[in-house]
Structure 1
């Protein structure tokens, strides 16, 4: 059974029909990527799964249970974490305080401490800057902090929205290396990414979104060598 099942999802912003009946599944332990141009509906889809937007119609099920009408913090408690576009870290708070915020739905203090150690192991740079104010970090470090904060909720499904946006190529590689490590450790990842080449490299399966609809789907490796995908998203 899919860990995440989305069917006939329709989402509007006022009169604008942003997501037009898309359906997709994410199996446990895989990396699935949604690729497409700006405005294709990728971020809208993640925000709807996270409970931040309400769909007009459709099915969103996590482990067989509907997420519709459930508050975002409750969805986090069920095991879904969203690392949002634009990082959205708490700029006035320290690195450590930001990470602790990620565990706000948990009550197991010894396990929270273990998760913190785990994040510091995964992101040594955050450990070095543990007491630094998040607003003073570089863009790449803020992205690592946003990912670490999402991991602090111990998600069964980690949703990453444009993790490489605005980063220098060397940092993009670092972020994707981390995604591959998380995948190897058994974390299920739903990835939205403008950098289609990198996304298709780390993903098991991919869905191509065009103006709110799924236009293609399949194994990431097959889509990466598809001429239409190459022309549209991989620079020919």
Structure 2
């Protein structure tokens, strides 16, 4: 069964139609990638799923519930959490305080502590720097913090918007292996990524977005082998 279904989604910025009838689904346990060039509508799609951006028409179904008009807070409480593009860590707050912000809707103190330890195991650097202001972290460390903060909400589905943006190649590899690790422990992942090659290498399924429409879809390996994709996105 599909964990997330997007049905005929249209989104406008003023008179400009940014999404032109997108239909897609994410099955439980999968890593699903959305690739496409800048301005194709990838971030708009994620933002409209998590109710940050208003939808013109269409439906979003999550775990069998219609969340089309739910608030962002309600959507997080249902188990859908987004790591925004550009990391957006809270500066002026420590690493630890940033992580706790991820758990702000939760009341289960013992389980929150347990999850904090899990995040520290996954990202040891965050434990080392837990008392530092989040703004003092490097780009890669901030990305890890943004992911750790999202995991503190115990998401069933994690939306990742451009996690590798602006990172050195060695860190990109590390972030992608962490995404696989998060997925292997039971969190489903929907990944928006400019780095098509890396995204397709870990994706069970992928969609290609072009100017607000899905132009191609298939398994990660099918798309990675497709001459069209190689030419457009993989420098083939």
TM-score of the pair, normalised by structure 1: 0.99
Structure 1 equivalent of residue 153 of structure 2: 153
Counterpart check, 1:4 vs 2:12:
no
State the alpha-carbon separation in 2 of the partners of residues 16 and 106 from structure 1: 38
Runs of 4+ residues deviating >2 angstroms: none
Counterpart check, 1:210 vs 2:210:
yes
RMSD across aligned positions (CA)? 0.6
Q: Compute the displacement of 1:165 (Å).
A: 0.1
8 Å Cα contact 1:54/1:68 also seen in 2: no
Counterpart check, 1:163 vs 2:170:
no
What aligned pairs does 1:131-146 form with structure 2 within 5 A after superposition?
Answer: 131-146=131-146
Q: Unpaired segments of 5 or more residues in structure 2?
A: none
Q: Compute the displacement of 1:225 (Å).
A: 0.5
1:83-120 residue CA offsets vs partner (Å, 9 max, x unmatched):
00000000110000000000011110110111100100
SS of 1:91's equivalent in the other structure is coil
Q: Compute the displacement of 1:143 (Å).
A: 0.3
Aligned length: 236
State the alpha-carbon separation in 2 of the partners of residues 11 and 58 from structure 1: 9
Q: Compute the displacement of 1:208 (Å).
A: 0.3
Q: Compute the displacement of 1:185 (Å).
A: 1.2
Structure 2 equivalent of residue 130 of structure 1: 130
State the alpha-carbon separation in 1 of the partners of residues 54 and 67 from structure 2: 10
State the alpha-carbon separation in 1 of the partners of residues 4 and 164 from structure 2: 24
Structure 2 equivalent of residue 225 of structure 1: 225
SS of 1:163's equivalent in the other structure is coil
Structure 2 equivalent of residue 43 of structure 1: 43
Structure 2 equivalent of residue 235 of structure 1: 235
Q: Compute the displacement of 1:144 (Å).
A: 0.2
Counterpart check, 1:182 vs 2:176:
no
State the alpha-carbon separation in 2 of the partners of residues 150 and 183 from structure 1: 13
Structure 1 equivalent of residue 119 of structure 2: 119
Counterpart check, 1:60 vs 2:60:
yes
1:149-202 residue CA offsets vs partner (Å, 9 max, x unmatched):
000000000000000000000110110010111121121000000000000011
Q: Compute the displacement of 1:72 (Å).
A: 0.4
TM-score of the pair, normalised by structure 2: 0.99
Q: Unpaired segments of 5 or more residues in structure 1?
A: none
